[in-house]
Each structure stands twice: as structure tokens, then as C-alpha cells.
Structure 1
């Protein structure tokens, strides 16, 4: 058990997730670094511990019911509660025209980006309810904004017209609102965060923002004060249109 606030970040062995873990660790959280790959997870957690941060590996594959259940059981035994859950794990299958995107690829994206976030949130809900200030962050994207996508004059409206990935983030935004509505009476803050166009493996490191910059919004939303918002979509500049 630990008296510190506990945070779980999924997909945290690299990229934005690793920087979210680092950012929360620097704020004094005991961070559970979620990774489906044990070797990479151990390496990432070890590197953060070398920086003096309280970071522990938690093996979790958000696309697998048994893995998520086992992770929740393990965290309960070690910590007893969870104060912040950052659903960061996400995938894309590449830049393919919507008319050519295979249903199997779209389904694989949804299994992680949408169902994975639902599965993980539901599994860790009892631990979050044990917190006096539970926070849930869904790592979304402006590509999931229907307001942006339907603006045919937006600079990247056509360039980033991805059927599976974009629609999965739109769905994740809807999931965010659904959880926020149900959990608001219990003091939860449930929000979606957009990291901006960040250089990661997901986009072949083509984005102009660093993972540290991309992680900032998640760290902020995971540590909101009691008078903070819920059921909203934010990036560094402020509110993002759904």
C-alpha cells in the first residue's frame, strides 16, 4: 500500500504515455506504468525510477479481458485505490483511404482505442471509487472532432481523413461524455485530452510536437482540482469542439 496518490497510464512504455507517466511522477504520484510488453515495460519503468520517480510496471493489454482483470486485481493488492486513470493506449493501422480501409483493420483499432478504454475504466472503477478525487482521462485527438472533420476548408480535413482512427476517437469522445454523466455525482472528473500533432511511432514521428508537449494536457486533466470541469474535450489552447 502507498499513501501517495496513485495513477495508472496505459500504453506508457514509450511516446506520449511514457511522458505522462514521467509528468505525474514528478508531481509526486505513485505511477503504474501500463504496458502489454513486459520487457519494454520494465525498461521504461526502470528508466523513470533512475530519475527518482516512484514508477512501477503494471502488465496490461487493454484489448484482453483477462489481462485487464488481472491488472486491476494486482493494483488493488498493491495500492488499494486509484486516483487517476489515463486511458492512453491506442493504435492506428496506417494512412489508407476510407473506401479502401478494411473492416478487420477498423475493428482492430476500435478494440484498443474504444473498447480498451471502456474495458479498462470499468475494471478499475472500484479502485477509482476508493479515491477522494478520482480522475479519468481519455487520450483523444482533434481528428475525432466532428466539428473539425466536417469543415471541408480545414487544412488537414482531407490529408488526415482516416476512417478507422478518426472515427475511433469520435467514439471515444462519446464514451467520455457517457462516463462523465454517470460518475459526476460521485465526484469524478472525466475528460478527453488532445495531445496535438505529436511525433510518435503512430505517425512515423512526423508531428512537430514532442511527446513531452503532447503529454501536458493529460497530466493537467489527471490532476484537476475539485472545481475543475468534467465531460469536456481539451487541448493546450483550451476547449476543443466535439
Structure 2
């Protein structure tokens, strides 16, 4: 990923979004539902440990990424809770399960009239290789079954995995009914590094990631 280009593009997106949001009175936005008054102190500490690469085992490595995501999402007032599962659920093996206060969070993220039934996430920090297509196929199945908006966080993605995400996000309406709000949102650790290191608004980043995944413009950064 070209970090400099990503930083410029995401800063531009956030600045324009803030300008638009500031024109709205008494409306919940990424600006007023996200709190980060300590400069991502705990997240920077976790990120430093992840980047150092000194882990006792792959479980510790994977747990750190889950802790990072949990800390970031917990800063959003419209997320009521986030549980790290690490076990089989009704949707199969998922890593994180996010519970929202109500559907307002989807409007904040730009999903107007396009709301999923739940939010889930998978963290693949223990992998040294790129995320492959078979892993994405499993995520597509879980997203379909739960009508879920699914975040997939990995080191990087193979071209076949990116193609699978693109096919799902753009053709899901022909795969299953009630596909509103159901998307696979791929995120790399490098993206999170840029957001945290530059102390950018993570909520706006998620809004960007969802919108960019809908039309797969996010592939330019994977």
C-alpha cells in the first residue's frame, strides 16, 4: 500500500465529511459520536507491540489485533458493546461481534436505508501470508447467513481474494434476498497504522472503508 497516497486521500475524505457534517445541526455524525481525547494512547501501545513482532505464539499475535479493534470501536458512543468470541457462533467462527445502540450508526456511516442485521469482524494478524480467496469465501457465507456487515482485517490480500470481495459486494443481490447493508469490508493493518499514527478519526475511516468497499475503490489500497 502507498501509505502517503492513502494518508492524503483519507485526510481529504475526512476534511470534506467534517465540513458537510458541520452544516447539520443536532445530527449525530462521526465527529460527535467518536471520542479520542488521548491521541490513541492505548492503541499506539498495542500497535507498537504488533509491529515489533515479538510474540510468544500466534495466539498472542492474533489477540493483540482483536484488542486493537476492540479499543477502536469502543470509542464510538453508538457501539454499545464489542465481544471477542474466538469460538464458533451461529455464524461459524468469527473473531468479533459488535452490538449497536440502534441503527443510527449505519446512517452515520452513510448506509442510508441500507442497514444490515448485525456487525461482525475477522482478524487475521497471525498470518504472515496474504489473505487468500478461500478465507473470503467463508466470510461471504457468514455475511449471507447473518445478513451481516463484515469487517475483514488482515496483513494484505491476494488478488483472488480482492476479486472475490468485489464480486460479492457488487452482485450479492442476485445471491440472496434482503441483502441490504451486507458487505465485506477489507482493512489492512497498514491502514490502521496510518489512522492511529496520524490521530485521524477512526469513525470517519470506517465510513470511508464501507463506501469504498461498496464500489471496490478500496482495492487501490489493499
Common fold by TM > 0.5: no
TM score, norm. by length of structure 2? 0.39
TM-score, normalised with respect to structure 1? 0.36
Q: Higher relative CO (CA 8 A, sep ≥ 6), structure 1 or 2?
A: 2
